[in-house]
Structures are given as structure tokens and as C-alpha cells.
């Protein structure tokens, strides 16, 4: 499996984008995580690993996961994972922020965090707790919107997070209705990605805008995609299989720096959606999260791409 997919577990822990209706996803929007603010400048956050005493208003956050969610709420980062650091959407927001990892604890010590956000599967959770209060999240436990609200609770900004969620759902649904009116209520959409060696088709909770298209907008997924990608989240394809999984419209996630010669092949050109000019391209590097910044970016692309 290509390196990009070996990195998915790390990347997607930041996305928190499993859906509550997938059998394979089976998240639980959570029974009760919250933060109770005390008069000492701290708050008790009821995390999935138990209560954690955290700063009521953290000022030096190390986010090994969920960094985009933190940035969307104006959280102050002093350390971030390398994949968020490489994302073009966050470049300007991460000036001066150190790239850190759980495997180099001395680097985390150097930035002197007052809060650490980590993956619940981290092998160094106990060591991270010795450095600063550490809150861990399990990828897929909450859907992409519930995860944003959860970060809001942690940062004492739940109202802001909830307000964005409510507004985004309303706007995305309205745009979805416009799109259905234009392309037809039965039209199907597939989300493909290539890493220059393999192709992948995605279900409805694997970033790349899948949450917007299939959940928020309610657009249709081809039956073959439902059968093979909905449960596991994605499905690997050979070039010869692309037509079988292609919807009436395609969203193509690709890197501008990768080998895109496949787009000149007859195999690609013969796909009906390609022949009809029904392809919307997105930048892979900017599309692998499901936080508000990424979702707003992709929502605008989809609005223009489908309604132009």
C-alpha cells in the first residue's frame, strides 16, 4: 500500500470524519465529553480516557492530531504534526510553529505546551501526560461535525463551534439542493484519488469532500461505490476499473506535482463523466482533513464546479 495511505490513520485522526450511519464507522457522538470551568483558571474536561484538568484558556497547544480544528477556532499552537504543516491551507497560520511528533518528546518539551492533543492510540500517552495535560481522541469515535464541537468544548469555545456547525449544515444543504436541481436528483457522484501508482474511490466519510457531497448535500453515490467503499472508507482500483465506479460526475483528488499522465490515456478519456466535462479537480494536499477551513474551501469549489 502506498505511503500516502499508510499515513491515513495519522491524518484522519485529525479529521474525525466517520459518519454516524456507517456500519463500519459506528461512531458514538459521545456520551458526554465536556469541560467544567473552575475558578482557578483550569477546567475539567471529561475525555474518553477519563477526566483531565486542562487550562480554561490554553495558550500553548501542541496538536499531534486535530490541529486544523484547533486553528479554525483560533487556538494558539506552538507545535503541530508534519502533515498539517505541509497542508497549503494552513501555511500562513503556522509561521513560527514547530513541527513535532510523539516520537521526539524532547522537541515537545522544548515548546513548553500547556495542553497536548494526541491520538488515543499513541504509545506515548503516559509520557505526554508528564509534559502537559493531554487529551486524546480516537479516530472515528465522532463524526466530522461532532469532532469540531468537541474541540470547541476543550478550548472553551463550544458556542463558536456549534454556531459554525449549524451555519455550515444549512449552507451546504442549500447548495446541495441547487446542485440536485441542476444535475438531476438521481445523478451520481464519485470521488477518485490517484497517487500516481494507484487509484482510490472513497465512501462518505474519508475527507476529500466526501462528507460535504454525501452527508451534508445528500448527493448520490454509485452502487458499486456503496458496495465496496462505503464500509471500509475507500477502495483501491486499477485504471481499468475506473469506469465501473465512475458516477455521472467525478471529483478527482490529485497532486499537482504528481504524475498525471493517466489523464491522457484512452482508459480515462472514455469514462462518460470525463467525456461530458463533468470532472471537478481538487488538490490532494489541501483536501485530506474535514475541519471547518478545509470544508469551507471545498464547499466553494463544489459550488462553482457543479453550478457553473
Which has more pLDDT, 155 or 11?
155
Q: What is the mean pLDDT of residues 119-146?
A: 95
Same domain for 241 and 298? yes
CB atoms within 10 A of CB 15: 25
Residue 167 lies in a domain: no
Judge if 139 and 256 occupy the same domain.
Answer: no
Same domain, 25 and 72: yes
Check which CATH number belongs to the domain holding 193 and give it. 3.40.50.1980
Q: What is the mean pLDDT of residues 32-59?
A: 82
| pLDDT score at 257 | 84
Is the pLDDT at 37 greater than 90? The verdict is no
Q: Which of 98, 127, 156 is the last residue of a domain?
A: 156
3-state secondary structure of 250: strand
Of 89, 216, 79, 199, nearest to 144 (Cα)?
216
**Is residue 205 domain-shared with residue 268, that is, in the same domain?**
yes
Number of domains forming the structure of the chain: 2
The residue ranking higher by pLDDT, 177 or 18, is: 177
Query: Lowest mean pLDDT: which of 174-183, 236-245, 249-258?
Result: 249-258
Sign of the dihedral through C-alpha 45, 12, 296, 117: positive
CB contact set of 24 (below 8 Å; sequence gap of 6+): 230, 231, 232, 233
129 and 187 inside one domain: no
Both 28 and 132 in a single domain? yes
Whether residue 185 is found in the same domain as residue 236: yes
Amino acid at each position: 500500500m502506498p505511503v500516502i495511505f499508510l499515513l491515513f490513520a495519522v491524518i484522519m485522526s485529525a479529521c474525525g470524519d466517520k459518519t454516524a450511519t456507517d456500519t463500519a464507522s459506528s461512531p458514538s457522538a459521545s456520551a458526554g465529553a465536556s469541560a467544567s470551568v473552575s475558578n482557578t483558571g483550569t477546567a475539567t474536561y471529561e475525555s474518553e480516557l477519563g477526566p483531565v484538568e486542562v487550562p480554561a484558556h490554553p495558550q500553548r497547544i501542541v496538536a499531534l492530531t486535530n490541529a486544523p480544528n484547533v486553528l479554525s477556532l483560533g487556538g494558539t499552537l506552538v507545535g503541530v504534526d508534519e502533515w498539517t504543516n505541509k497542508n497549503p491551507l494552513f501555511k500562513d497560520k503556522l509561521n513560527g510553529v514547530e513541527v513535532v511528533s510523539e516520537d521526539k518528546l524532547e522537541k515537545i518539551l522544548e515548546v513548553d505546551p500547556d495542553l497536548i492533543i494526541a491520538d488515543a492510540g499513541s504509545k506515548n500517552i503516559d509520557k505526554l501526560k508528564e509534559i502537559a495535560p493531554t487529551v486524546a481522541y480516537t479516530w472515528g469515535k465522532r463524526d466530522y461535525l461532532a469532532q469540531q464541537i468537541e474541540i470547541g468544548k476543550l478550548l472553551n469555545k463550544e458556542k463558536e463551534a456549534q454556531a459554525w456547525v449549524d451555519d455550515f449544515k444549512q449552507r451546504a444543504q442549500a447548495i446541495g439542493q441547487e446542485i440536485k436541481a441542476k444535475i438531476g436528483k438521481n445523478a451520481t457522484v464519485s470521488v477518485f484519488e490517484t497517487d500516481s501508482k494507484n487509484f482510490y474511490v472513497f465512501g462518505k466519510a474519508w475527507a476529500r469532500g466526501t462528507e460535504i457531497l454525501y452527508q451534508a448535500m445528500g448527493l448520490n453515490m454509485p452502487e458499486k461505490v456503496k458496495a465496496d467503499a462505503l464500509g471500509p472508507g475507500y477502495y483501491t482500483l486499477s485504471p481499468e476499473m475506473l469506469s465501473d465506479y465512475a458516477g455521472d460526475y467525478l471529483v478527482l483528488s490529485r497532486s499537482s506535482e504528481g504524475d498525471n499522465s493517466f489523464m491522457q490515456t484512452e482508459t480515462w478519456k472514455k469514462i462518460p463523466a470525463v467525456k461530458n466535462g463533468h470532472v471537478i479537480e481538487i488538490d490532494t494536499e489541501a483536501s485530506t482533513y474535514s475541519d471547518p477551513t478545509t470544508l469551507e474551501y471545498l464547499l466553494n469549489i463544489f459550488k462553482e464546479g457543479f453550478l457553473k
